[in-house]
């Protein structure tokens, strides 16, 4: 109806509509049709878009205009107090503002609180407030066009403010923001929102799936909100939450701070068939372990971690890798490796060796304690290596596969 009107003219129309809001809906729509036509013609009298002041000089204030119309049309006098106090837009806007401020505030506390239980509590409170206020806001509309919130003084002021801010953005950039920035934001907020939520509870694999689902849902909701503006009561507050959460989660993921799963590049799982970070020594990947007994004789051992989980390493230098088979005990060390000089011209012609490609230095018997055989029982264990390594400060890091 008023889609062709912009700026001060649209605001004027909205204010006239607010003044006439006590009329029966059918009559209101009809008379506003006329008023829209009138304002369109009046706007055309000006060179360019008329200012609010120019309009008021030409037509009087919106209230005067509405009163004139009311008198001439023989409508009953305005039910003044009821029309202003019980305006549905007012309550709807108030609940919307609560949903968009108080809810995200609690979620922000949760994000920066750090402690897991406190965080979860505030997330729960935040979303409860957000959804309750949004629901009350939509209910307060009582089935009216959501645009009635713009008829309230606060709504009109806010609209003008946003309009001015948007006008500050250069048109070219504005268009790019809408065509590129908007879809990117839709995907990002959905993925980070849903993914981050599950990451809070440490469910890495679930988070990856949730991120994809979240992105899809987010885009769907955005499309819905474009058609049915009542969704804005939910979408705007959730956007505020996302505006806080997305940078927080992304920076945490980048720094690898509390969202440890992201720092691996991709979420790992406990399945023994998925690659994991395995064993590292001073940051370097360990691809094999050669145990020697006290006599300096090479032996074969089965290695377990502190939970009795078999320790396995990703190795791509054996015949299983070449042939695609799985014939080895996964935690038996040393692994067989294809010697560097071997010529593997076909997968069947594969030969591997478990003989260490080095000779260990002689054991110095001053050290009373035997070399540790397994990591100490902490998830991230630091093990003093045998002096044989020649690097006194070396640390052995075992990344648990979960």
Partner 1 sequence: MDTSQLLKGVLDLAVLAVLRDADGYGYDVLRRLRAAGLEDVADASVYGTLRRLFAAGALTSYVQPSEEGPHRKYYGLNKTGHDLLAQSTRTWTNFADIMSVLLLTKEEAA
Interatomic CA distance for residues 140 and 88, integer angstroms: 6
Residue with smaller CB distance to partner 1, 38 or 229: 38
- 8 makes contact with partner 1 (CB under 8 A): no
Are the beta carbons of 282 and 394 closer than 8 angstroms? yes
Between 27 and 116, CB nearer to partner 1: 27
Considering the complex, what minimum distance in angstroms separates the CB of residue 43 from partner 1?
A: 10
Query: Which 137-196 residues touch partner 1, going by CB under 8 A?
Result: none
Residues 15-34 that bind partner 1 (CB under 8 A): 27, 30-31, 33-34
- Considering the complex, what minimum distance in angstroms separates the CB of residue 79 from partner 1? 18
**Closest distance to partner 1 from the beta carbon of 49 (Å):** 14
As measured in angstroms, the least distance from the Cβ of 145 to partner 1 is 18
Closest-CA residue to 142 (of 36, 25, 221): 25
Task: Report the nearest approach of partner 1 to the CB of residue 63 (Å).
Answer: 11
Choice from 7, 22, 42, 121 touching partner 1 (CB under 8 A): 42
Question: Cβ 51 to partner 1, closest distance in Å?
Answer: 18
Site for partner 1 in 210-249 (CB under 8 A): none
| Least spacing, CB of residue 58 vs partner 1, in Å | 8
- Return d(Cα 395, Cα 381) in angstroms, integer: 9
Residue 6, interface with partner 1 (CB under 8 A)? Answer: no
Q: Choose between 42 and 221: whose C-beta lies nearer to partner 1.
A: 42
Asked if 4 interacts with partner 1 (CB under 8 A), we say yes
Cα separation of the two ends of the chain? 58
Residue 73 Cβ vs partner 1, minimum distance, rounded to whole Å? 4
Q: Of 59-67, 289-297, 330-338, 391-399, which part binds partner 1 (CB under 8 A)? A: 59-67
Cα–Cα distance between 11 and 53 in angstroms, integer?
Answer: 12
User: Is the Cβ of residue 19 or residue 320 nearer to partner 1 in the bound state?
Assistant: 19
Q: Smallest distance, Å, CB 162 to partner 1?
A: 25
Q: How many residues touch partner 1 (CB under 8 A)?
A: 27
Q: Is 327 exposed, middle or buried (0-12, 13-18, 19+ CB in 10 A)?
A: exposed
Closest to 199 measured CA to CA, from 265, 277, 258? 258
At residue 170, what are phi and psi to the nearest 5 degrees?
-60, 140
The 3-state DSSP class for residue 284 equals strand
Footprint of partner 1 on 238-297 (CB under 8 A): none
Residue from 298, 299, 278, 279 nearest 383 by CA = 279
Q: Which residues contact 303 (CB under 8 A, 6 or more apart)?
A: 289, 310, 311, 331, 333, 374
Nearest to partner 1 of 40, 395 (CB atom): 40
Return the residue of 14, 35, 215, 248 that touches partner 1, per CB under 8 A: 35
Residue 177 CA to residue 150 CA, distance in Å, equals 24
State how far the Cα of 392 lies from the Cα of 402, in Å rounded to an integer: 29
Q: Which residue's CB is nearer to partner 1, number 47 or number 345?
A: 47
- The single residue among 37, 153, 202, 296 that binds partner 1, judged by CB under 8 A, is 37
Nearer to partner 1, 6 or 271 (CB): 6
For partner 1, the binding residues in 62-91 under the rule CB under 8 A are 64-66, 68-75
Neighbours of 335 (CB within 10 A): 21
List the alpha helices (DSSP H) in 22-147: 25-45, 52-59, 62-73, 80-85, 88-113, 116-140
In the bound state with partner 1, the residue whose beta carbon lies nearer, of 34 and 176, is 34
Query: Can you say how many angstroms the Cα of residue 293 is from the centroid of all Cα atoms in its chain?
Result: 52
Q: What is the DSSP string of 314-331?
A: ---SSHHHHHT---S-TT
- For partner 1, the binding residues (CB under 8 A) are 4, 27, 30-31, 33-38, 40-42, 44, 59-60, 64-66, 68-75
């Amino acid at each position: 109806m008023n889609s062709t009107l912009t700026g001060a003219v649209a605001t004027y129309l909205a204010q006239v509509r607010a003044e006439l809001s006590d009329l029966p809906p059918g009559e209101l729509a009809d008379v506003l049709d006329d008023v829209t036509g009138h304002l369109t013609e009046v706007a055309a009298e000006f060179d360019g878009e008329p200012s609010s002041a120019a309009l008021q000089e030409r037509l009087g204030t919106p209230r005067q205009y509405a009163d004139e119309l009311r008198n001439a049309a023989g409508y009953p006098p305005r039910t003044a107090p009821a029309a202003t106090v019980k305006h549905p837009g007012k309550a709807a806007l108030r609940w919307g503002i609560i949903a968009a401020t108080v809810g995200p505030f609690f979620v922000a506390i949760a994000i920066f609180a750090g402690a897991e239980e406190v965080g979860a509590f505030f997330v729960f409170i935040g979303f409860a407030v957000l959804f309750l206020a949004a629901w009350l806001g939509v209910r307060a509309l009582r089935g009216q066009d959501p645009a009635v919130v713009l008829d309230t003084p606060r709504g009109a002021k806010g609209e003008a403010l946003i309009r001015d801010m948007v006008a500050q953005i250069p048109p070219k950039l504005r268009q790019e923001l809408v065509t590129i920035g908007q879809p990117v934001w839709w995907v990002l907020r959905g993925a980070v929102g849903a993914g981050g939520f599950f990451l809070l509870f440490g469910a890495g694999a679930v988070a990856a799936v949730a991120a994809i689902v979240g992105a899809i849902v987010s885009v769907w909701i955005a499309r819905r909100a474009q058609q049915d503006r009542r969704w804005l009561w939910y979408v705007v507050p959730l956007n505020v939450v996302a505006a806080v959460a997305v940078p927080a989660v992304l920076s945490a993921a980048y720094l690898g701070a509390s969202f440890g799963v992201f720092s691996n590049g991709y979420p790992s799982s406990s399945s023994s068939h998925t690659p994991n970070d395995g064993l590292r020594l001073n940051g370097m990947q360990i691809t094999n372990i050669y145990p020697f007994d006290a006599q300096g004789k090479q032996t074969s051992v089965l290695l377990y971690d502190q939970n009795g989980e078999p320790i396995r390493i990703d190795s791509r230098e054996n015949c299983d890798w070449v042939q695609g088979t799985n014939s080895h005990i996964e935690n038996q060390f040393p692994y067989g490796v294809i010697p560097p000089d071997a010529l593997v011209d076909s997968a069947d012609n594969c030969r591997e060796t478990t003989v260490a490609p080095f000779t260990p230095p002689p054991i110095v018997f001053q050290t009373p304690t035997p070399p540790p055989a397994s990591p100490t029982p902490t998830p991230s264990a630091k093990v003093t290596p045998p002096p044989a390594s020649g690097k006194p400060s070396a640390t052995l890091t075992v990344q648990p596969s979960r």
